[in-house]
C-alpha cells in the first residue's frame, strides 16, 4: 500500500522542514509513504527524511535532460538532489498548463529511463462522467503508457479534486478494475481523500493506495490516512 502526499503550491522550505521532522516521529511501518513538495522544498525534504523509509518525489519532470526549457526540471537534476520519483500528468497540469496525453507519455518515459519512480495521473472530468465517457477517457490516457516496475498510476476523477467530493468506494473500484485491464501496474486513488473516507476506499481490492492532496498538508490528517492504509 502506497500513500503519496501531493503538496501542490504549498509549504516553502521552512514549513517543509517542520512537517518532515514531525513525520519522522510517526509510526508508519507497514505502509510506503511518499511526500511530494514544491521544487524549492525538495532539498530540505530529502535532507530531513534521509535515513527513513519515507521517499521524496517531485510534482513534475521534463522529458529532456537539459535545454532551453524555462521553468522546467529534468530527471537528472532531481536525482542529483536525491529525489526518488515524480508525479506526472496531474489533472491540474492538464487543466492549467496545457499538459496532453502525449507530453505525459514523454515525461513518464524519460523519468523511467532515468531511473525515477513515476506516479502518472489519469481521470475523467465531471462532464465526461455525465456523458458516460469514463472508460473511453481512461483508455485514451492509459494507451500512451507502458507498464514498468517503477510506474504507478493514480486514478483521480477531476470532479473530485479540491471539491470535497469523493468517488464512492464502488465507483473507485470500478475505475481501478477497468484500468487494470489496460495496464498491469498498481493504481492509487486520488480525489479529496480524507481520514474519514480513506479506510473504505483503501479496502477495495484494486485500490493500491492513495494520492492525497489537501489532507496531506496537515501532519495529523496525513498520518491518519497512512494508518488507515496500514489497517487495510
Nearest to 148 by CA among 169, 188, 118: 118
Cβ proximity of 87 and 122 under 8 Å: no
How large is the C-alpha radius of gyration of the chain?
Answer: 16
Strand partners of residue 155: 122, 189
| Helices and strands, counts by H and E, the chain | 10, 8
Cα angle: 54, vertex 64, 158; to 5 degrees: 60
- Whether 96 is a known active-site residue: answer no
H/E element, 198: helix 195-202
> Which residues have a Cβ under 8 Å from the Cβ of 127 and sit 6 or more positions away?
none
C-alpha to C-alpha distance for 203 and 145, rounded to whole angstroms: 26
H/E element, 119: strand 117-122
C-alpha to C-alpha distance for 27 and 154, rounded to whole angstroms: 25
Strand partners of residue 57: 85
- Whether 90 is a known active-site residue: answer yes
Catalytic residue among 62, 90, 99, 124: 90
Catalytic residue among 99, 109, 156, 176: 156
Task: List residues with catalytic annotation.
Answer: 90, 156
Amino acid at each position: 500500500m502506497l500513500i503519496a502526499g501531493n503538496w501542490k503550491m504549498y509549504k516553502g522550505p521552512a514549513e517543509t522542514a517542520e512537517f518532515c521532522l514531525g513525520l519522522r516521529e510517526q509510526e508508519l511501518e507497514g505502509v510506503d509513504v511518499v511526500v511530494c513538495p514544491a521544487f524549492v522544498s525538495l532539498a530540505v525534504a530529502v535532507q530531513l527524511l534521509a535515513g527513513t523509509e519515507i521517499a521524496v518525489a517531485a510534482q513534475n519532470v521534463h522529458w529532456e535532460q537539459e535545454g532551453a526549457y524555462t521553468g522546467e526540471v529534468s530527471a537528472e537534476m532531481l536525482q542529483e538532489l536525491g529525489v526518488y520519483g515524480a508525479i506526472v500528468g496531474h489533472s491540474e497540469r492538464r487543466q492549467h498548463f496545457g499538459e496532453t496525453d502525449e507530453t505525459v507519455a514523454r515525461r513518464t518515459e524519460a523519468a523511467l529511463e532515468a531511473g525515477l519512480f513515476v506516479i502518472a495521473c489519469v481521470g475523467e472530468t465531471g462532464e465526461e462522467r455525465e456523458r458516460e465517457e469514463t472508460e473511453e477517457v481512461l483508455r485514451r490516457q492509459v494507451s500512451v503508457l507502458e507498464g514498468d516496475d517503477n510506474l504507478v498510476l493514480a486514478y483521480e476523477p477531476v470532479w473530485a479534486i479540491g471539491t470535497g467530493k469523493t468517488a464512492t468506494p464502488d465507483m473507485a473500484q470500478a475505475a481501478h478494475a477497468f484500468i487494470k485491464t489496460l495496464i498491469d501496474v498498481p493504481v492509487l486513488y486520488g480525489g479529496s481523500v480524507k481520514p474519514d473516507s480513506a479506510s473504505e476506499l483503501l479496502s477495495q481490492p484494486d485500490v493500491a493506495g492513495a494520492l492525497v492532496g489537501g489532507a496531506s498538508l496537515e501532519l495529523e490528517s496525513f498520518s491518519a490516512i497512512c494508518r488507515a492504509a496500514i489497517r487495510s
